[in-house]
Structure 1
Amino acid sequence: MTTYYSKDHEWIAVDGDIATVGITNYAQEQLGDVVYVELPEVGKTVAQGDEAAVVESVKAASEVYAPIDGEVTEANDGLADEPAKVNEDPEGGAWFIKLKIGNSGQLNELMDEAAYKAYVETL
């Protein structure tokens, strides 16, 4: 499994033609305590850069953007009941959606872990 990162602080783990999407640890730290997560319906098609989900914290609401084109095959419905999981395990069990990859070429526009860490250091 290969993991990529976006400048909007989403991570995307690719396994075959399915990509799991969530927010990075940096993003959850910026948000603070997450109190609400809104996820898309299974079957929804998203384009790169489109809003794919919404996460709200005690500080602010923020969109989670689709890092690539795809169709939602699964949503992590457990986050609706336990949104605080986003703070506890943002780059693991607190993933937001799984996508059937629509354009694998878009992965080349994303960063690897080292490039993402370097990017975050500039913020």
Structure 2
Amino acid sequence: MEQSGAPAGPDVTSNGGGPAGGPGAESTNPGTGTTEPGAAARIAEIRVRIDEIDRALIELWQERAELSREVGTTRMASGGTRLVLSREQEILERFRSALGADGVQLALLLLRAGRGPL
């Protein structure tokens, strides 16, 4: 999907005619949203890197969640608490400082992935 929420892909009508913009209009490059070949090629290059970053983020997310679960298991097995709120606040503040309000939301998701819902 594109950032707009619309599915990625060619912007053509289902009857095989021209683009949804009207008859005779140039067809867009599938998935790029542009008719300019240079721009379409650059978009494709950028998306390769975005996909690499996404794969790395997913891998790091999974590793972080596993490590966080291990910390919790170890802490509780030694008689500690399920959560250390000061640590969670530290993480929330780190993400807020770096990324603003969206960072807080991201940090909350990361924390939940490691410890489960409250």
Instruction: Give the TM interval when normalised to the shorter protein.
Output: under 0.3
- Give the TM-score of the pair, scaled to structure 1: 0.24
Which one has the bigger helix percentage? 2
Between structure 1 and structure 2, the one with the greater Rg is 2
Structure with more strand by fraction: 1
